[in-house]
Structure 1
Amino acid sequence: MTGINMVALSRRRFCQSIAGFAGMMMLPSCSLQQREEQFVSAYTNSQGRHFVARFNHQAKVLAQVELPLRGHDMAVSHTESGRVLVFSRRPGNYIFDVDLSRGHLNQVIKANAGRHFFGHGVFSPDGLRLFTTENDYDTQTGKVVARDAQSLQVINEFDSGGIGPHQLAWLNDGQTLVVANGGIATHPDTPRKKLNLTTMAPNLTYLDGVSGAILQQFSPPHHQLSIRHLAVNQDNKVVIGMQFQGELSDINPLVFTQQGSGPITACTSSVDVWQKMNQYTASVSIDLAANIAAVSCPRGGFVSFWDLNQDRLIDEFSIRDCAGICVTKNGFVLSNGKGAIQQVAPFSSSALSHFEASGHKWDNHMVNWLS
């Protein structure tokens, strides 16, 4: 990181910044001054067994549940204490419903026939429904599926507006979903094979969360820039992390923003930084109070920090095989595939703290625990 000093955000400022989100954003409660910040992530241990764990910034695992398959992203219930839904890695067929207060696997939900999940889902702001991104792989049509939050049974579905929908999120109105349609066709018979790289057409789609009506769609500047992960700030600016699927020698921007009716626009950085990302970004998180986004770049071995007031790179932090990112009261907490849990802040000269969970290969996403 650079050597510029920056005053850490106060807890009061942090709480004020998220107050307007009510229950929509998955951030920890600020009601108790001494409440320990905790996080949730999937991981694989040194024996190849898969888990989802609740842990603190010192990498101490406080509760965990073993999973039959590798997990990817999670959705923490803000209406049922301890409940976490874990989505299997794409193209996955399962949602694991776990209780991380008691360390119990409640139920396993399998995708309907002809479908698979993409590793992501979100609860509705009222907590009554779950929305998942899915693939109808016979027709290669992306779907957003609404499920009852308790039973996880399907109650409605609609087209995602493209192929290969990945991460989705709510805008601040609690009624509009923004969906990252990655544009890549896949099939469970060849799980990790990408079937349409020459014809892929990724887009960012806004949907009405009740009717499923497509409200707006935006395409990236190159048809092989796969839109994968995103996050939304307080002004409904969407930060997008992309993965380039074209020639290895091509260098393209990989961090973009989109807001309102404006186009998908690349953030400002140097060619050297884009090249160092090695055509791949993983996780996106936003510090709402500071209006700074963090984007992990595991192939490049660093996390990038972006000023969303000017949409430009402001700092980097080197971390080998970086994975998940979460906002904390002092900046961000990062994980990696080597078991590391580090607290960092833009403009700090080094990590605020560094701990390791031995034998833990953390997966690409991390979420804040709600207690």
Structure 2
Amino acid sequence: MATRRGFIAGLIAAGLVPKRSWADAGSPSYLAAARQPDGLFSLIGLDSYGAEAFRVPLPGRGHAAAAHPTRPEAVAFARRPGTFALVIDCATGQLKARLDSAEGHHFYGHGAFSRDGSLLFTSENAYETATGMIGIWDVTAGYRRIGAFKSHGIGPHDIRLMPGAETLAVANGGIETHPDSGRAKLNLPTMRPNLSFLSFTGEVLDQVEPDPALHLNSIRHLALRGDGTVGFAMQWQGDTSMAPPLLGLRRPDGTVQYLQAPDAPHRAMERYAGSVSFCADGTLLGITSPRGGQVQVFQAETGDYAGSYWADDVCGLSDGPAGFMTTSGTGDVDAVAITTREWRVRHTDGFDNHLVRITPTL
């Protein structure tokens, strides 16, 4: 009689062993970095109802993560400016690889996979020359770094893969930093943020730069809709008496529209948008402000203000069953329908900046 080990070996030889999927990690819908009550840090998987699906430890504070499109694997990025990222098997909790930034570089807390998952792109700072860079990692070779190209701006932060194309959308925040100066902003008088669209070889396919009067509005985070519409969230670095828009839309035809709530809720955002997301059907677009304790929602087609939802220290934002899902530093996971909370799940962890949607392609 054949042994179990021999049977499995035969399956492997025949290529019949089923590939693992995100179902093997508890079928999570989201990834979020968090601080535990004991002061340690974790990457947590949440299901579509806000319950914990898995938890893996992190050596320090996390910022965001990138979910592999075909297998239960995530790259957890250290809080910026960080020099490491961890590749985690979310089904077993095993550390599969550690990504260390190139000499003279640090990560900015975000990354994006190619559609087939064979490449990972990371936003980086070559800090001695204040040059924004995009690192390229060969996933099939165990996340070996194989190159980099310029982001065509300073301080690239969020990076996303455009739908249906080998094109990266990159939020070049425009702020120069250096590890020797901590998180000090070194170039505010000459800031020039932009939203760049780059090929996988670094060619500039398009670029959006705010009007000169808004050059202190750092473009930080991105949301994509299936038709190629890009929402971009901003953080104002200028005069605190001013209240410029914190949200923009770049349409597929290249036109740009800035969105702004009425004066009172807009000023309550305290000039800071932390995350941005479309709802599942793309009709609504939201931004969060942990400083202002607010989620603002807009009609995506017209740009009209739809309303606000208020929650302490809210920052993470993604699409959800009620419209949006949010996470907060207080440990709350809320299902939000524009101005109302449909339900809430309370955790003992304090969630960090972002709530990353897992969207398997296979």
Q: Give distance in 1, aligned partners of 2:31 and 2:208.
A: 32
TM-superposed deviation, 1:232: 1.4
SS at match of 1:296: strand
Q: Give distance in 2, aligned partners of 1:36 and 1:79.
A: 13
SS at match of 2:189: coil
Q: Give distance in 2, aligned partners of 1:285 and 1:84.
A: 20
Say whether 1:164 aligns with 2:155: yes
In the alignment, which residue of structure 1 is the partner of 2:356?
Answer: 367
**C-alpha spacing 1:206/1:38, structure 2 compared with 1 (3 Å):** closer
Say whether 1:291 aligns with 2:283: yes
In the alignment, which residue of structure 2 is the partner of 1:174?
Answer: 165
Which of 270, 275, 298 is the equivalent residue of 1:278? 270
Q: Is the 8 A contact 1:53 1:100 kept in 2?
A: no
In the alignment, which residue of structure 2 is the partner of 1:133?
Answer: 123
Gaps of 5+ in 2: 1-20
Say whether 1:84 aligns with 2:74: yes
TM-superposed deviation, 1:317: 0.7
Residue identity matched to 1:309: E
Say whether 1:233 aligns with 2:222: no
Q: Is the 8 A contact 1:219 1:264 kept in 2?
A: no
Residue identity matched to 2:158: Q
TM-superposed deviation, 1:177: 1.1
TM-superposed deviation, 1:58: 5.3
**Correspondences of 1:94-133 after superposition (within 5 Å):** 94-133=84-123
Say whether 1:266 aligns with 2:255: no
Task: Answer with 1 or 2: which has the greater Rg.
Answer: 2
Q: Is the 8 A contact 1:83 1:97 kept in 2?
A: yes
Residue identity matched to 1:89: R
Q: Give distance in 2, aligned partners of 1:204 and 1:49.
A: 35
SS at match of 2:266: helix
Which of 191, 196, 199 is the equivalent residue of 2:190? 199
Q: Is the 8 A contact 1:65 1:105 kept in 2?
A: no
SS at match of 2:182: coil
Say whether 1:218 aligns with 2:208: yes
In the alignment, which residue of structure 2 is the partner of 1:16?
Answer: none
Deviations 1:288-333 (A, max 9, x none): 4142112111111011111111012212111110021121233221
Deviations 1:258-307 (A, max 9, x none): 12454532114322232111010111111241421121111110111111
**Correspondences of 1:309-328 after superposition (within 5 Å):** 309-328=301-320
Say whether 1:67 aligns with 2:82: no
Deviations 1:33-62 (A, max 9, x none): xx9763210001233211101133555433
Q: Give distance in 1, aligned partners of 2:130 and 2:294.
A: 34
Q: Give distance in 1, aligned partners of 2:187 and 2:144.
A: 31
Q: Give distance in 2, aligned partners of 1:143 and 1:37.
A: 31
TM-superposed deviation, 1:370: 5.8
**C-alpha spacing 1:102/1:184, structure 2 compared with 1 (3 Å):** same
Q: Give distance in 1, aligned partners of 2:220 and 2:111.
A: 13
Q: Give distance in 2, aligned partners of 1:37 and 1:144.
A: 28
Q: Give distance in 1, aligned partners of 2:282 and 2:171.
A: 24
Q: Give distance in 2, aligned partners of 1:261 and 1:193.
A: 37
TM-superposed deviation, 1:88: 0.9
TM-superposed deviation, 1:63: 1.7
SS at match of 1:189: helix
In the alignment, which residue of structure 2 is the partner of 1:147?
Answer: 137
TM-superposed deviation, 1:172: 1.9
SS at match of 1:167: strand
SS at match of 2:352: strand
Q: Give distance in 2, aligned partners of 1:91 and 1:366.
A: 19
Deviations 1:224-271 (A, max 9, x none): 000000111122111110000011111111111112454532114322
Structure number with higher helix proportion:
2
Say whether 1:357 aligns with 2:357: no
Q: Which has the higher contact order (CA 8 A, sep 6+)?
A: 1
Q: Give distance in 2, aligned partners of 1:239 and 1:154.
A: 30
**C-alpha spacing 1:162/1:36, structure 2 compared with 1 (3 Å):** closer
Alignment TM-score, normalising by the size of structure 2: 0.87
Deviations 1:63-105 (A, max 9, x none): 211111111111111222x211111111111111112211222
